[in-house]
Structure 1
Amino acid sequence: MTTQAQSDVPNTEGLSRFIPILSIGLLFFIFGFITWLNGALIPFLQMVCELTELQALLIAFCFYIAYVVMALPMAKILEKTGYQKGMSLGLGIIAVGCLLFVPAALTAFFPIFLLAQFVVGSGLTILQTASNPFIVRLGNEESAAARIAFMGLLNKAAGVLAPIVFTSLVLSGLPDVNQDSLNAMPADARAALINDMSVSLIQPYVGMAIALGLLALVFMRIALPSIESTSNSEQAADALANTAPQNKQILQFPHLVLGAVSLFFYVGVEVVAGDTIGLYGSSIGVENATTLTSFTMVAMVIGYAIGLMCIPRFISQQTALLSSAILGLVLTICIMLSSNSDTGVSNALWGWLGVQALPNSVTFIALLGLANAMVWPAIWPLALNNLGKYTAQGSALLIMGIAGGAILPMVYGVTSESIGGQTAYAIMLPCYCFIAYYALLGCKKESW
C-alpha cells in the first residue's frame, strides 16, 4: 500500500519538475493568446463581414459558450483519454478550428467564422480541464499559489501580444482601417479592401494550425507526471461526497453560490473590457483599433503584479476584491462621462513613453484591466472556503461562471444599439456592485 501511494505522487524535483512546469506554462500562454485574440478579431470581422456591433459580439459568444456546452462532454472524454492525451487532443481540436478560418476567410461567410470560434473554444475547454490539475500537483501545496500566479502572468502576457501579432500579420501592407474610415470609402474601393483583409487571415491561421498540430504531437511524447489516480484519502472523500444528493448539498453553501454569480459578472465585465474596446475604438475612428485589447491586457498584468506583491502581505483577499469592485465602478462612470476626442489621460499616463495616445473614454476602458486583474484569484479561495469534501463540486460550479463571458458582451451589444456604445458600458455598474456586495457580505454568508 505504501509503495503504491508513493507512486501516485509525482516526482517534481530538479529537471523533472522544471520540464512539466515549463510545458504547462506554454499551455497557459496559448490559453491567453487564443482567448485575447478575440479582442482583435471582433473589430476585424465586423469590417470584413460588414456586421453590426451585436452581430460582431457573437464571435465572443460562440467562443465562451463552448465552455458551458462542452464542459461535461469534454470531462467524459478526459476520463477515457487521461490528462496528458487530453492535452494533445485539445491542441488538435484548436488546430482544426484554426483551419476552419480558411474557408471562412475565402467566402467571408460569417456563420463559418462562428463555427470556427466554437470549435476553438471547445478545444480550449478540454485543454484547460486537462492542464489545470497539474498546477497544484507539480510541487508542494505551500508553493501552489506561486505556481498559479506564474501561470496567470503568462496568460495575461500572451493577451498583450496577441492583438499586436494579429495586427502585424494580418494587416501588414494594408492601409490603417477602422469602421469609420471604411464607411467613408467608395463602394468599389471598400469591397476590394474587404476582400484583401479577408484573404489576409488565411496564412496566419494556417501557420497557427500547423504549430498547434506539431505541439499536440510533442505533448504525446514528453514525460509528464501522472495525476490520473488519487490517494486513498481523496478516494474516501469522493465516495462520501457521492453518497449525498450533490446538487442539494452544494447549494447549501451560500458563499459558494454567490461566488459563482460573482464570477459570472466578473468574467462578463472582463470580456466586455477586453473584447469591446476595439469595437468601440473603431467606431469613433481610433487608429490601430485591432491592437487596443493590448492596452487592457497591460493594465491587467500591472494589476496582477500589484496583487502578487500586496496579497496577503499588506491587504487581504477580501480587501483586494472590494478595492477592485470600487475601482471598476469609478472607471465605468469615467467611461460614460469622458471625452471621445481629448487624450489628456493617456498622455499623462503613457504618452511620454511614445506609446499611442487614446481618447479618454477608450483609456478608461483599458484601465478596467487594472480593476479586473485580481478578481478571479480573490473570489476562488473565498468561494471554496470550508467546503471540505465538496470542494471538487464547488470548483465545477465556479467554472460555470465563465458563461458570463458569453452573455454580458451580448447584453452590451443590444444596449449599444439602443443607447450608444459609450453609455452602454453602464451595464457593468450592477456587475461591480454585486462583486462589492460579495466582498463585503456574500463571502461571509454561512446560511440562506
Structure 2
Amino acid sequence: MSIATSSPNATSSQPNNGYGFALVSLTSLFFMWGFITCLNDILIPHLQSVFSLTHFQAMLIQFCFFGAYFIVSIPAGILVKRIGYKGGIVTGLIIAAIGCLLFYPAASMQEYAVFLGALFVLASGITILQVAANPYVTALGPEKTAASRLNLTQALNSFGTTIAPWFGSLLILSAVAHDVSSMTDAQRLAQAESVQMPYILLASMLLILAAIFSQLKLPVIDAIEDTSGEVTDDSAWNHRHLVLGAVGIFMYVGAEVAIGSFLVNFFGLENIAGLNHADAAKYLTYFWGGAMVGRFIGAAVMQKLAAGKVLAFNAGAAVLLLVITIIAEGQLAMYAVLLIGLCNSIMFPTIFSLGVAGLGKVTSQGSGILCLAIVGGALIPPLQGLMADAVGIQLSFALPLICYIYIAYYGLIGSKVVPAKK
C-alpha cells in the first residue's frame, strides 16, 4: 500500500537541482514505511500464537497501528508547520525508532498490551514522517518530472511491502511452534523474544536515516499551501465526490489491510494449503509484489482510459476473486486471494486523485479528509476478526468483498464531479 500525498504547488527557495542524493534518501523513507507496515502481517500470526489470541484480539495490532494515522495526522501537521519539514522528517524517524526499540521490553515482559503500545508509537513516527516527507518529492527537481519522482517513491514503498514477508518469515515466524497449546513458559518467552533482534535492526536503520537527514541540505519549501491570501467560503465537505472518496479510502485501506492480515492464517487452513506460518508468510510476497507490478501497468493503462473506469474494473475483479476465495478450496482459493494484490495496485492513488479533483482552493482540506480516512485500516480488520471468530476465516472475507463493491460504485458513479452544495 502506498499512502502518500503531495502538493503540486510545492516550490523551493533554492534551485531544484543537485539534490540527487536527497531524492535517493527520500525514496528510502518510502521503502522503510512500506516495509514496516507490511511486517504487521507477520506479527499478527506470530503474536496470536504466542499469546493464544482470538482473531479479533490479533487484529488489534492493525487497530493500534492505523489508528495512529487518525489521531496523529492533525497534530503532526501542526508540529511540522512549527519545526519545518526537515525537522519533521528527523523527528518522525526518531519516534519510529523508539517504537521499534519498545519491542525489546515488550517481548521480555510478554505483555501483549505493551506490544500494542510499541506499535502505536512506531506508527505515530511514520505518520509524522509522511506528513513531513511527501512535499519534498515534488520539490526535488523540475515540476514536469514530479510525477516520475512520485512513481519512483511509490514503487519503493511497494518494494518494501514485497520483501518484508520474507524478512519476517525467516527471522520471526521460523521459530513458531506448531502446537502452541503445549508450549512451556520458557518456549513462549523464546518465541516472544524472536521479534527483538529484527526490530532492533529496524531501529538502527531508522536512526541512521535520522542522522543522514539531519545533515542533508534540503530545499526550503515556501508554498506547500495556497498563499494567495484570498478567502473562500467553500468547504471540501460541500463536494460530494470528495466525501464519497473519503469513504472509498476508508473501504480500500480497510480491505487491503484486513486481507493481508489474514493471509498467513488462511493459507494454514487444511482445506486451503495447510502451510505452517513460516511457509505461508512467503506467499505474502506475491500479494504485495502484485501491487508493485500493477502500479506500473495501471499507470500505462490510465494514459488511455478514464481513471474511474480502471478503478471500477479493478474493484470488480477483486469482488470476483473474493467470491472464488470464499467458495473454493485448495490452490484455486489460494491464488485467487493472492491476485487481489494486483487489483489493489492503483486503488489508493486513483481514489485520492478522483477525490481531490476540482476542489480548487479547498484541495488541501480535502487531502486532509482523505488522509484521515486511512483509519479504515484500524477498524475493518478487527471487524473481520470478529467475523472470523464467529463463522471462520474463509467466510469472513465477505467483509472486504463489500468494501470492493463500494469502490466499484465510486469509480463508475460516485467520483463524478458535481456542483458543490453550499
- Give the Å deviation of 1:171: 4.4
What does residue range 32-47 of structure 1 map to in structure 2 within 5 Å?
32-47=34-49
> Deviations 1:16-38 (Å, cap 9, x if unpaired)?
13122111101100110111111
Residues 46, 173 of structure 2: 8 Å contact kept: no
1:308 pairs, out of 299, 303, 319, with 299
1:235 pairs, out of 227, 231, 235, with 227
Distance, in Å, in 2 between the alignment partners of 1:8 and 1:94 is 27
| SS of structure 2 residue aligned to 1:377 | helix
1:193 maps to 2:187: yes
What does residue range 282-301 of structure 1 map to in structure 2 within 5 Å?
282-284=268-270, 285-287=274-276, 288-301=279-292
Distance, in Å, in 2 between the alignment partners of 1:109 and 1:385 is 46
Equivalent residues, number: 406
What does residue range 344-423 of structure 1 map to in structure 2 within 5 Å?
360-423=332-395
1:133 pairs, out of 132, 135, 138, with 135
Residues 57, 409 of structure 1: 8 Å contact kept: yes
Distance, in Å, in 2 between the alignment partners of 1:10 and 1:337 is 58
The one-letter code of the counterpart of 1:214 is: I
2:151 pairs, out of 143, 149, 152, with 149
Give the root-mean-square deviation of aligned CA atoms: 2.0
Residues 53, 279 of structure 1: 8 Å contact kept: no
Residues 157, 301 of structure 1: 8 Å contact kept: yes
1:262 maps to 2:248: yes
- Give the Å deviation of 1:362: 2.8
Distance, in Å, in 1 between the alignment partners of 2:401 and 2:28 is 35
Which range moves more in the overlay, 400-409 or 428-437?
428-437
Q: Which has the larger radius of gyration?
A: 1
1:12 pairs, out of 8, 16, 20, with 16
The one-letter code of the counterpart of 1:286 is: L
The residue that corresponds to 2:5 in the other structure is none
The one-letter code of the counterpart of 1:321 is: L
> Deviations 1:185-222 (Å, cap 9, x if unpaired)?
6354xx44332211222222222212212221211101
Distance, in Å, in 2 between the alignment partners of 1:80 and 1:162 is 34
The one-letter code of the counterpart of 1:92 is: I
| SS of structure 2 residue aligned to 1:444 | coil
The residue that corresponds to 2:205 in the other structure is 211
- Give the Å deviation of 1:65: 0.2
The residue that corresponds to 1:330 in the other structure is 320
The residue that corresponds to 1:182 in the other structure is 179
The residue that corresponds to 1:75 in the other structure is 77
Unaligned runs of 5+ in 1: 1-5, 344-359
1:281 maps to 2:267: yes
Distance, in Å, in 1 between the alignment partners of 2:173 and 2:360 is 51
Distance, in Å, in 2 between the alignment partners of 1:251 and 1:52 is 38
Structure-2-length-normalised TM-score: 0.91
| SS of structure 2 residue aligned to 1:139 | coil
Residues 273, 296 of structure 1: 8 Å contact kept: no
Residues 287, 339 of structure 2: 8 Å contact kept: yes
Which range moves more in the overlay, 142-151 or 105-114?
142-151
> Deviations 1:374-431 (Å, cap 9, x if unpaired)?
0112112211111111111110011012011011101100111111110010012221
Residues 169, 204 of structure 1: 8 Å contact kept: yes
After superposition, the Cα gap between the structure-2 partners of 1:325 and 1:10, relative to the gap in structure 1 and judged at 3 Å, is farther
The one-letter code of the counterpart of 1:394 is: G
- Give the Å deviation of 1:328: 1.0
- Give the Å deviation of 1:255: 0.8
| SS of structure 1 residue aligned to 2:127 | helix
2:103 pairs, out of 81, 101, 104, with 101
| SS of structure 1 residue aligned to 2:397 | helix
- Give the Å deviation of 1:226: 1.1
Structure-1-length-normalised TM-score: 0.86
> Deviations 1:219-255 (Å, cap 9, x if unpaired)?
110111111x228x93115x424xx3x6xx2211101
| SS of structure 2 residue aligned to 1:251 | helix
Which range moves more in the overlay, 17-26 or 108-117?
17-26
